[in-house]
């Protein structure tokens, strides 16, 4: 289950990044320009990776939270049902 949670988090983070902040002109860069390394592009690359990691981790824990929330809701419903049966 953890593997599929990671895959779903990666795909959702990739989709969110491609349809939101990667469309901005700030993130249209090349690390090498005319054979020269560009330090400004390195900063943009690191910022791009950092934003993606934040999205990935956020989506991973959001999926985990949704799963635990669903299990908690089912458990509470079962407890209420058992309480009704005892009365």
Please tell me the predicted confidence (pLDDT) of residue 86: 81
Count how many residues are written for the chain: 87
pLDDT tens digits in sequence order for the chain, 87 residues long: 689 999 999 999 999 999 999 898 988 888 888 878 888 888 999 999 999 999 999 999 999 899 889 899 999 999 999 888 887
Q: Does residue 44 contact residue 27 with C-beta atoms inside 8 Å? A: yes
Q: Does the pTM of the predicted model rise above 0.85?
A: no
Selection from 66, 47, 72 nearest residue 9 by Cα? 66
Please tell me the predicted confidence (pLDDT) of residue 87: 75
Please tell me the predicted confidence (pLDDT) of residue 1: 64
Domain spans of the chain, in order of start: 2-86
- Please state, in angstroms and rounded to a whole number, the distance separating the CA atoms of residues 22 and 69: 32
Selection from 16, 13, 8 nearest residue 63 by Cα? 8
């Amino acid at each position: 289950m953890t593997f599929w949670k990671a895959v779903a988090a990666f795909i959702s983070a990739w989709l969110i990044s491609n349809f939101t902040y990667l469309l901005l002109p700030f993130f249209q860069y090349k690390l090498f320009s005319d054979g020269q390394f560009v330090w400004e592009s390195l900063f943009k690359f690191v910022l791009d990776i950092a934003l993606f990691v934040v999205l990935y981790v956020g989506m991973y824990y959001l999926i985990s939270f949704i799963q635990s929330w669903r299990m908690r809701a089912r458990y509470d419903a079962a407890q209420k049902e058992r309480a009704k049966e005892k009365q």
